[in-house]
Structure 1
Amino acid sequence: MRTPLFRLLLRFTTAFFVLIALSCSSEDTDPTPDPDIGSTPDPNPNPNPNPDPDPVSQNDIALVDDAVAAFMQKYDVPGAAIAVSVNEKMVYTKGYGFSNTTNSTATKTDDVFRLASITKVFTSTAIWKLIDENQLSLDDKVFGPTGILGDDFGTASLTADELNITIDHLLMNEAGGWAASSGGDPIDYQPQLNSDDFIEYVLNNWDLSHAPGESYHYSNTGYWLLARIIEKVSGQSYEDYIANLISSTGITSFKVTTYRQEDREPNEVEYYGTEADSPYIYTIASRRDGDGGGVISAPDLLRFLSAIDGFSNRQDIISPSAINLRKQVSEHQPNFGKGIGIWQSENLLFFTGSFPGTRTWFMIGENGKSAVILLNYRRTDVVDFDFELQDLLLEMIKNNSLPWQTDLDQF
C-alpha cells in the first residue's frame, strides 16, 4: 500500500516522470522533478535515540534494508548500492542483490556503477573550479573568434545564435537546442567522429530551435561541450582534470567509461535491461564523457557530495561563492540551477541519471542529510518504477525516525 508521502509524489510529479520516461535510445534525460511537493524539513537530523557510546561498526537498519529489498523484488532489480550521510558523516552504506547474476556475485559497497547524467554534476563542478581560478567566466562565449573553443569548428556556417552561446547557457541547458525536447540531441549520432569533427558536424547540421537564454532544453551535447571546454582551458584530459579536482576528497573509484562490456572496471557491476533496453546497454557512443560517462561507487559519490554541499564539517572543493551561485535557478526551469538540480519545495539539491541498464539518484538535504542510490537496471515501461525510487531516497532524507548511527563516520 502506498504511503501518504508517496501519494503526494504521485499526485504532483506526473509531469516530471513524463519527461524521464525514456525510449529505447541511449539518451540520458532531464532529471528535474515537479516543484510542487511541499513539506517542511526538520532543520536538525534526528539522531539514533540510543546510540552506541562508541560505535565501531555499522548496524543493519531493517526499515531501510527492507524498503530497498521490496523495491528491488517488485521491479526485478538485480543489484543496488546505497550510501547515506548525516552532517557529512557516512552513517550507512550497503550493497544489495547481485552485481553479476550469472555468477551470483553479491553487490559490495565498493562496486562501481555508471553514473549516467549524474556525471554532469562533476562536469559543472569542474567549470565552477575554473571560474574560481579566474580561468573562465559565466559570460565567456563558446564559439567564434572570441570563444573558448575558437573558430576551428564549423566557422563557415556559424549563426548569430551559435556565436552567442555562453558557458552560462550550457550550464543551465539554455543554449537553445540540441535536446530531445527541441527536435533531437545529436550526442549519439555519428559515433565514429572524433571530438573536433563531431563539434563541426553539430554546428553544420543541427540548427538551434531557440535563441540562447530564451528557453530550457536538457542537452547532453551541451554538457559534452563543457567537457571539451574543461580540456581546452586546463590543458588536461577531462578524466585527468576531474581526478585532480577530487584528489583531496579520498575518492578513488571515479573513472570515465567507454561503455564497452570488455572495458568495465575490475569491480564494475554488470548491467541488465528489459527487452527494449538490452540491445543498447553496451553500444552507447564512447565519446560521452562529461554528459554521462562517469563510474563510481556509492560511498565515493557520497564523498563527492560532501565536497560540494557547502556544509562545514568537510572541506569543499569549490568556493562558497560558487556553491551559492550554482543554486540560481533558470527562469525557464525553476528546478534547475547552474549545473545542479534544485528541488525548492523539498529544500534539496539533487540529480538523477538514466541509461539502458542504469538508474541513479542523489539528494542533498538542507537538513544535513545526503543519500545516493545506484542501480544496475532500469524500467522505462512502468512509471511507478521512478516514482517509488524517488520516494525511497526521499524517505532516507526526510524520515527522522530512522535510527542512523550519528556517532559513526565511515568516510
Structure 2
Amino acid sequence: MKKTYKAGICCFAANALKFTKLIAVTGLLLFASCSKKDSPSITKTDTGTDTGTGTGTRTGTTTDTLTASKVAVAALDDEVNAFMTTYNVPAVSVAITKGEKLVYLKAYGTSDQSRGVKAAISDRYRIASLSKQITAVAIMRLLDGGKIKLEDKVFGDGGILGKTYGTKTYGPHITDITVDELLHHTSGGWNNEVNDPMFTNPTMTAAQLITWTLDNRPLDHIPGTSYAYSNFGYCILGRVIEKITGQTYEEAVKTLVLTPIGITDMTIGGNTLAQKLPKEVTYYGQDSEDPYAYNITRMDSHGGWIATAADLARFLVYIDKFPVRKDILTPSTLNVMYTGSTANTAYGCGWAIAGNNYAHTGSLPGTATEQARLDNGFNFVILTNTRSWKTKFGYDLDQIFWRSYAKNPTWSADDLFTK
C-alpha cells in the first residue's frame, strides 16, 4: 500500500508494498469503535452449471448458509476496533479462511451513518483494485480454455482488438503490447503516478477513453522493459475479455469465474450515492475527498466491482493452490498467474508476490481493501468504507490480521461457508 494517496487513484504499488511485517511465528514476510454483535445470517443457493472455457467444471446444487462468527476472537475484535477508532472508519467487514474453511466472518460498525444502519456480513463494498485479480483470473480461464495466449498482441493488424480503438496511426510500440504485458503492468506506459488516464475525461465511455488515450498518450518505454502500475492497462484487458467472449465484461466474468464457484452477489458498482445498490454500504470521504465524484462503472475491470467479504474469501479458496477445494484454474496456469515479470519479479498477473504468498490492496476515495492468500494455510479479506491519509493507515489495515494471528487465537471449528 502506498504511504500517500492521490485523489481519485485506485492505487497499489508492489515495489512500495514490500511485505514489510515479519511474522516471527512463521518467519513469513508480509506486506505491507465499539464491539458489535454478530450479524444476521444470509442464505445463498448456487444452482449454476459451469459454462466457462476453463477446466474447473462443476455442476449440481450447493446450498451455503452463511452466518457471522459465533466463536469470539477477542484479538481480532480488539484490532478492528482500534483501527476503526484511530482512522475514523465507519464500517469494516472481515473474512478469514483456514485450510479453505471459512473460520471467521464478521461485520463491524455502521454501514450508513445517516440512517444508523448496523453493518452486516451481507453488505457489499467497492473493492477497488481487488477487481484486477478478478480480471486476471478471467484471463487465466480463457488461457486454460485455449481462447487466448499471453503472447497475443492486443492492438493493430492481427491483434485481439485490431484497430477498433484510436483514430490515428498508432504511436511507437503500441502494436507490440501483449496480453502478458498488460497483466504484469509492463506495457510501457499509462501509469497511475501522473495523469492516470482512468481519471481523465470522466464523461467518456471506456471505448472513447481508450481511443483518446491511444491518440494522445504515447508510451514511455518499450513494452516489457519497465514496470509501471496501470489501471488503464486493466481497462484494456476488460475489452480483450469482451472481444474474445462476445459478452460484456461483467457477463463474461460471471460466466467464467463467479458462477462456477457459487458467487452470485458480486456486480459492477454505480457512481453516485443515488446509484447505490441493494446491500451496498455508504462511502465516506476524508480530507475533502468525495467518494461519489468518480466514474466507478467505467473502472469495471480494474476497480469497479462490489462484493461481500465472504464472496471474496470464496473466490480465494478456488485459486489458492490448496488441496481441499478444486481450483478453477489448472496448476500450470496458477503458476503463470503467480509469477512475476523480468521487470518486476514481485508482481504477477494482478497479484503482488512474496515467496508463496499472494496479495493485493485496493484504494479509492471512500474505500480501502485487501485480500491475501498466505502460504501458512490462511487467506483473509478486509473491506472498509473509507480511507485515511494518515501515514500508517495502509500498514495498520494489513496488520489487523497479522497482529491477531500472532496471538494464536482459537478459530471456529465449523466451516462458515456451510453453517
TM-score, structure 1 as length reference: 0.87
Give SS of 1:338's match: coil
How many residue pairs align between the two structures? 376
1:132 equivalent to 2:132? Answer no
Q: What's the CA shift for 1:252?
A: 1.8
Give SS of 1:246's match: helix
CA distance in 1, matches of 2:173, 2:24: 42
1:393 to 387, 390, 401: 401
Give SS of 2:174's match: helix
Aligned to 1:65: 77
Q: What's the CA shift for 1:337?
A: 0.6
Q: What's the CA shift for 1:41?
A: 6.2
The 5-angstrom pairing of residues 279-294 of structure 1 reads 280-284=291-295, 286-294=297-305
CA distance in 1, matches of 2:88, 2:250: 33
Q: What's the CA shift for 1:323?
A: 0.8
Could you give the per-residue CA deviations for residues 325-352 of structure 1, whole angstroms, max 9, x where no partner exists?
11111233232112211123xx421011
CA distance in 1, matches of 2:101, 2:19: 28
Give SS of 2:132's match: helix
Q: 1:251, 1:300 within 8 Å by CA — same for their partners in 2? A: yes
Aligned to 2:263: 251
Q: What's the CA shift for 1:36?
A: 5.8
Q: What's the CA shift for 1:177?
A: 0.9
CA distance in 2, matches of 1:150, 1:289: 21
1:17 equivalent to 2:5? Answer no
Aligned to 1:299: 310
Could you give the per-residue CA deviations for residues 172-229 of structure 1, whole angstroms, max 9, x where no partner exists?
0000110133x43211212222333222111100011111011111000000100000
Tell me which amino acid in the other structure corresponds to 2:216: N
CA distance in 1, matches of 2:102, 2:137: 21
Give SS of 1:72's match: helix
CA distance in 2, matches of 1:37, 1:343: 12
Q: What's the CA shift for 1:37?
A: 4.8
RMSD: 2.0
Aligned to 1:377: 386
Identity across the alignment (%): 34
The 5-angstrom pairing of residues 166-245 of structure 1 reads 166-181=178-193, 183-244=194-255, 245=257
Q: What's the CA shift for 1:255?
A: 0.4
CA distance in 2, matches of 1:328, 1:41: 26
Give SS of 2:303's match: coil
Aligned to 2:368: 359
Aligned to 2:30: none
Q: Which moved more, 1:351-360 or 1:324-333?
A: 324-333
Give SS of 1:329's match: coil
Q: 2:172, 2:219 within 8 Å by CA — same for their partners in 1? A: no
Q: What's the CA shift for 1:112?
A: 0.2
Q: What's the CA shift for 1:135?
A: 0.6
CA distance in 2, matches of 1:343, 1:70: 27
Q: 1:302, 1:372 within 8 Å by CA — same for their partners in 2? A: yes
Could you give the per-residue CA deviations for residues 122-150 of structure 1, whole angstroms, max 9, x where no partner exists?
00000000111111000000000110001
Aligned to 1:329: 340
1:402 equivalent to 2:385? Answer no
Tell me which amino acid in the other structure corresponds to 1:123: T
Per the alignment, do residues 230 and 149 of structure 1 end up closer, same or farther by CA in structure 2, a change over 3 Å counting?
A: same
Tell me which amino acid in the other structure corresponds to 1:385: F
Tell me which amino acid in the other structure corresponds to 2:278: P
CA distance in 2, matches of 1:210, 1:406: 52
Q: Which runs of 5+ in 2 are unaligned?
A: 28-66
1:318 equivalent to 2:329? Answer yes
Q: Which runs of 5+ in 1 are unaligned?
A: 1-15, 44-55
Q: 1:257, 1:293 within 8 Å by CA — same for their partners in 2? A: yes
CA distance in 2, matches of 1:42, 1:387: 19
Give SS of 1:217's match: coil
Per the alignment, do residues 395 and 364 of structure 1 end up closer, same or farther by CA in structure 2, a change over 3 Å counting?
A: farther
